[in-house]
Structure 1
């Protein structure tokens, strides 16, 4: 059986019975794909798209340099070899190219010389195949679903469900209705002849829903018959005009898009088929994922994986809902997935597992940032019906030389909730910033207004930017006097807004009942500045564990640290300079895992000079160091003012951008570390007043959320701490997201996990 691995396909080609391509990449004027019985995406019969039709390439004079050009155009680094005499099977249609001759430096195959399009004396027994090096080019474009081609090359633009029941017409998201496709700017219906639950699954996946459920076909047939009998019915008139552009759809249920199914469509005008004889419009009912269900909604009828248990897969560093770098939980540790053989089918399994629809894009080459820790999986091969990624075949990530620069990511289809139409920005210098204005319903009337900036912070701004579809918030602004809001929307309609950060819209956050704002709209309205990328700081837990020790430091050496409040309050009562303080010291290394540099909130003009240590403070408190009881009560604390945010270490080939010397710029570059050695002042917790016992040692980076990050769940690091009055041991150090996606494990659970790893 022929094995095909690409899901972007023309509906017309499907009518002609053409195969699904393996990889499609358009770097030059032509489009190429690999097709054939091989199981790997980097090899197959070479096919070219020309004049809207796929054809093959003759093997005459074809050699390694031609294969290299083709492989680079397909997104691979180079070619390993080529295969003549239709090794990957004989193709169909025209033989577009013959006697191809390339120098080897061309960016696309159509830049090489040949006999010309369609000029060939070959047969399909001479179809050329290529074998590419599996390593992809840096910056390789994602595999994505493109719009399907309809008759005469016109595009199938969108798919939607049109509600039939009056009670469902104002619901968001729309989960049930007649399937319609947008073609040439008009919505057209799909005939239900041969319609299956597999078809419904594909449509639901495209609309952002993980699964489908049966409909009451008897009821909808009655509604259809009543409307067809009514001569004034719009449905009747549309049917007579042949609104059924799609006559029959046949899907396996694993396709990420209807374009990959077998679809019969109306041919060119003047040759229309009868309009769905004996049938009616196809009706689909979808099951939304947990994040998109109304709070009072009933649980789904079937036991889907996302309804049964906490997912062991998560998305990180994505700017929008349903996108991010893929991380999986294995052996009690989160790790990434290598992009070797990563495709839309496997990506769709991840999306559905998380409660989204099918995958819109499968991203390669760490396009949404590199992870840390292990690479758990590689060569993932899903068939499409698996409930979880762990059900798919895969290799261990360490088996084929994967690096974090190969981390796979995904963009999932998500339901349209209508939230983006209920918020807007006004007065900004660019579209990504301005006064936040929201639409609310008051006494049955919807109106626009401002948001009170009381308690407005970065968490709320993050929700606003996500709702706007603009990614992350870089700043939460309380004083917006320099931005002019929309005339007529100056009244405050939301106040007391407090968000947890997971909401899809500001309207889902907690807020005052009656509006109560300490000031009116205008100068002090809430504002935001949004960005599509953000930094992400994470502590090196292992280094903390390895470097911890006790020091009894004389007071005579602590004047400077005391001046900067790095000691416990009891130090104020001591007879300076006599005596000492007992310090728990350690080294810390903070890594910027994100996709943007970490910069101080304010510019140099706001930095504070500290004469004692001869340095500038760019952030008031950069980290919190705390010693807690097992019950969570604080018994000792410290803090680290960011007197020197800089690139202490960067990987080979990455230039350091930030250095504190000579009043230099401060920050941490993407991929670099800011290291504080154990012998630096304030790199400690003062435990002079702490008795022996078992404790929790905790470090929190960016504790006040002063600087935006793509992920705050990994900003906290905890260790188990044992102190006997003379010595100290730190063990089981881990960041807050090490074991579970949404919550911290109890200490007892952590210890059991630790014992299982030993």
Structure 2
């Protein structure tokens, strides 16, 4: 039992921690983790802190150099260091000073490989803590490893549902129990508050708490043998996790006489609309999250993404200056999730486009919406490399228990098999591949927690699934891409209609944890836009490829078409290369232009009136996807010359010049006025989820005045 003197310690009793003390890599280099901390800083600068031997500590500025700063920044995922600062510029750290007299040559992979006095050997004070300023650009494809060397699991707290509620999904109400000393124990409710319940509900993926029937639980408590935990808990309500609450007073344990004036704690939570309770036989209703002011984009999993805010009809991002777990929790609860697991900075879940609406956000944790928090409207100095993101707690819905992949070479691919009710029993079966596409595959990958969809397969004869699950049990599946489960998509229900049958034509998917993050440069479009009048006789190839408006079908060869021309520059800011799905042998040859199309329709260009009506459109086929230019240090991988491989490498961009055929919108029939230019991706194309998240219905320029 913990001594009462520890009554105000942080509630670490709820955490099981395994620390790899003095962990060594195969090369003998100590395993460390770095972070930037301190006051008045941006995400790419701060006091250097090192996690070693289970403890965070600082680095002394003695002998520190720009070479050491370069090693630090690269280890944190930045391309380079800009400068370093001695004398605790970002504030004094606390606790251990792990490294002193650090000497780096600049090429080391980790700060632990640099020379020093040794870990913990230092004569410095925290007034000598060193800081660095890194280049804001990220290393292309850099993957963050959270809690390296440290595993934290909250497995010793549970909401134990009563028998009547155990079949409900999710479990939203029950006795709160703590596992201590290998035994589950109750908590006395004599000092329990609604704020404590709020924190518990947030941990389990629920945005709020509610009242419950006290009488029924009192009757149940009288019949149960009691085994109370020895402490009360004191939460303020804005904590993201019970581990950050404080212990209350110690409780004297007297067997069944313990908590004589109270009863075991009961918690009752309110689920978000997307997770409303349903019996375990299925999730029939397609709930949609209402996100009028805030939304998440670019996340691979449910409840994560880049934070975007709606202002004056335009979606924009949030700068990560001062972004913390409280602000992230406000976002999560607003969207119907629980508290935040992580507040992410530095565009960790992709860069947005358009304006940066909010900066230096400060929340108390009790706001109903992020827009109620204090923030700086001036985003001067913020770029999309500083876009804030969140990862939220979500309820345990058991989604993965009703769907599986079978026969694949790895857990991320295979034939899709679903659990369906047939003749009063649950059986596994396949999904008809008619109309099966990327949208459906995205839902499958998300439901299984496998990330993005990389491919949707309509033939799976090469994947030997479970022979007892060959029968088709689901057909006519049509998904919008936002559903949480495949059951929520439109489908034929119990009536199965699959003309091709199952077997080799069963639906399959391939999932991936990473995806391209393609961002169009609005600035390039604005700088290169112009009008051109061109005769029909010079547009025959473009006419064959349907790059002109329908009125061109009846136009005389000597007539002219008015074209809105522009260049497009498409950057891949993601964590994997973008490639056309079709292999070179299936590319389509176009005789008039004398080239192959790797994707028949790569992009759509729309001109929209101010009331939202589309007045003109264009499209661009992909005849050459290649790395036109790359960031410093990135090698080009794709080049169209000599029938080479096509794609866009992470950290590179592809440019389609304004003078290329079909790089336009035919506005011959458009009246003079102000219009909105919209660039979007054709949704039928087989592309990873990140592509849709960033490109569907994006306003590139607020107004384009077209004067005839």
Q: Does residue 80 of the first structure (1) align with residue 85 of the second (2)? A: yes
**Deviation at residue 520 of structure 1 after TM alignment:** 2.4
**Deviation at residue 219 of structure 1 after TM alignment:** 2.9
- Does the CA-based 8 Å contact 2:11-2:243 persist in structure 1? no
d(CA) in 2 for partners of 1:142 and 1:332?
A: 36
1:220-248 Cα distance to aligned partner (Å, 9 max, x none): 122211x14xxxxxxx2xx3xx4x44632
- Does the CA-based 8 Å contact 2:170-2:275 persist in structure 1? yes
Q: 1:518 to 1:670 in 2, by over 3 A?
A: same
1:683-717 Cα distance to aligned partner (Å, 9 max, x none): 23445567778877655423423323325253335
Q: 1:458 to 1:336 in 2, by over 3 A?
A: same
d(CA) in 2 for partners of 1:344 and 1:199?
A: 17
- Does the CA-based 8 Å contact 1:371-1:593 persist in structure 2? no
d(CA) in 2 for partners of 1:708 and 1:728?
A: 35
Task: Name which of 608, 622, 628 aligns with 2:588.
Answer: 608
Secondary structure of the residue aligned to 1:523 is: helix
Partner of 1:161: 159
Secondary structure of the residue aligned to 1:488 is: helix
- Does the CA-based 8 Å contact 2:304-2:391 persist in structure 1? yes
Q: Does residue 580 of the first structure (1) align with residue 559 of the second (2)? A: yes
- Does the CA-based 8 Å contact 1:696-1:721 persist in structure 2? yes
Q: 1:528 to 1:39 in 2, by over 3 A?
A: same
Secondary structure of the residue aligned to 1:315 is: strand
**Deviation at residue 208 of structure 1 after TM alignment:** 0.7
Partner of 1:248: 232
Partner of 1:589: 568
Task: Name which of 103, 111, 114 aligns with 1:107.
Answer: 111
Q: Does residue 459 of the first structure (1) align with residue 439 of the second (2)? A: yes
Partner of 2:296: 315
1:293-333 Cα distance to aligned partner (Å, 9 max, x none): 2599xxxxxxxxx99x8443222211001111222334654
**Deviation at residue 720 of structure 1 after TM alignment:** 10
Partner of 1:177: 174
Q: 1:394 to 1:65 in 2, by over 3 A?
A: farther
Q: 1:184 to 1:560 in 2, by over 3 A?
A: farther
Partner of 1:283: 266
Q: Does residue 477 of the first structure (1) align with residue 457 of the second (2)? A: yes
**Deviation at residue 550 of structure 1 after TM alignment:** 4.3
Q: 1:420 to 1:65 in 2, by over 3 A?
A: farther
Partner of 1:511: 491
d(CA) in 2 for partners of 1:720 and 1:130?
A: 49
**Deviation at residue 186 of structure 1 after TM alignment:** 5.8
d(CA) in 2 for partners of 1:116 and 1:687?
A: 70
1:45-102 Cα distance to aligned partner (Å, 9 max, x none): 999986x7x7999x9xx65458999996997978634479xx979x8xxx8779x743
Q: Does residue 413 of the first structure (1) align with residue 430 of the second (2)? A: no
1:710-756 Cα distance to aligned partner (Å, 9 max, x none): 25253335699999xxx9449xxxxxxxxxxxxxxxxxxxxxxxxxx
Task: Name which of 354, 373, 383 aligns with 1:392.
Answer: 373
Which aligned pairs between 1:321-470 and structure 2 lie closer than 5 A? 321-330=302-311, 332-395=313-376, 398-399=379-380, 401-470=381-450
d(CA) in 1 for partners of 2:630 and 2:143?
A: 24
- Does the CA-based 8 Å contact 1:694-1:720 persist in structure 2? no
Which aligned pairs between 1:642-653 and structure 2 lie closer than 5 A? 642-653=622-633
Secondary structure of the residue aligned to 2:212 is: coil
1:273-308 Cα distance to aligned partner (Å, 9 max, x none): 857442432110111112212599xxxxxxxxx99x
Secondary structure of the residue aligned to 1:662 is: helix
1:646-671 Cα distance to aligned partner (Å, 9 max, x none): 23344455444333222222223345
Worse-matched range after superposition: 100-109 or 551-560: 100-109
1:129-161 Cα distance to aligned partner (Å, 9 max, x none): 565537579669587799998xxxxx7525331
- Does the CA-based 8 Å contact 1:134-1:340 persist in structure 2? no
Worse-matched range after superposition: 628-637 or 310-319: 628-637
**Deviation at residue 498 of structure 1 after TM alignment:** 1.3
Task: Name which of 211, 214, 224 aligns with 2:211.
Answer: 214
Secondary structure of the residue aligned to 1:421 is: helix
**Deviation at residue 594 of structure 1 after TM alignment:** 4.0
Partner of 2:15: none
**Deviation at residue 114 of structure 1 after TM alignment:** 7.1
**Deviation at residue 253 of structure 1 after TM alignment:** 1.2
d(CA) in 1 for partners of 2:434 and 2:334?
A: 38
Q: 1:606 to 1:96 in 2, by over 3 A?
A: closer
- Does the CA-based 8 Å contact 1:538-1:593 persist in structure 2? yes
Q: 1:204 to 1:568 in 2, by over 3 A?
A: closer
d(CA) in 2 for partners of 1:200 and 1:146?
A: 31
- Does the CA-based 8 Å contact 1:201-1:211 persist in structure 2? yes
* TM-score, with structure 1 as normaliser: 0.74
Secondary structure of the residue aligned to 2:201 is: helix
d(CA) in 2 for partners of 1:256 and 1:716?
A: 34
- Does the CA-based 8 Å contact 2:202-2:393 persist in structure 1? yes
1:464-484 Cα distance to aligned partner (Å, 9 max, x none): 110010111111111111111
Partner of 1:293: 276
- Does the CA-based 8 Å contact 2:459-2:505 persist in structure 1? yes
**Deviation at residue 590 of structure 1 after TM alignment:** 4.6
- Does the CA-based 8 Å contact 1:585-1:678 persist in structure 2? no
**Deviation at residue 492 of structure 1 after TM alignment:** 1.1
Q: 1:14 to 1:101 in 2, by over 3 A?
A: farther
**Deviation at residue 589 of structure 1 after TM alignment:** 1.4
Secondary structure of the residue aligned to 2:600 is: coil
Q: 1:136 to 1:383 in 2, by over 3 A?
A: farther
Partner of 1:553: 534
Q: 1:39 to 1:221 in 2, by over 3 A?
A: farther
Task: Name which of 221, 224, 237 aligns with 1:224.
Answer: 221
- Does the CA-based 8 Å contact 2:618-2:662 persist in structure 1? yes
1:236-279 Cα distance to aligned partner (Å, 9 max, x none): 2xx3xx4x446322111111111111237999xxx988574424
Partner of 1:740: none
d(CA) in 1 for partners of 2:701 and 2:189?
A: 61
- Does the CA-based 8 Å contact 1:67-1:82 persist in structure 2? no
Secondary structure of the residue aligned to 1:504 is: coil
Q: 1:626 to 1:185 in 2, by over 3 A?
A: same
Which aligned pairs between 1:639-678 and structure 2 lie closer than 5 A? 639-678=619-658
d(CA) in 2 for partners of 1:496 and 1:30?
A: 51
Unaligned runs of 5+ in 1: 1-10, 150-154, 229-235, 297-305, 731-758
Unaligned runs of 5+ in 2: 13-18, 24-29, 105-109, 280-287
Task: Name which of 593, 598, 604 aligns with 1:624.
Answer: 604
d(CA) in 2 for partners of 1:719 and 1:194?
A: 55
Task: From the CA coordinates, give the structure whose radius of gyration is larger.
Answer: 1
RMSD of equivalent CA atoms? 4.8
d(CA) in 2 for partners of 1:143 and 1:254?
A: 23
Partner of 1:749: none
- Does the CA-based 8 Å contact 2:234-2:245 persist in structure 1? yes
Partner of 1:260: 244
d(CA) in 2 for partners of 1:430 and 1:411?
A: 26
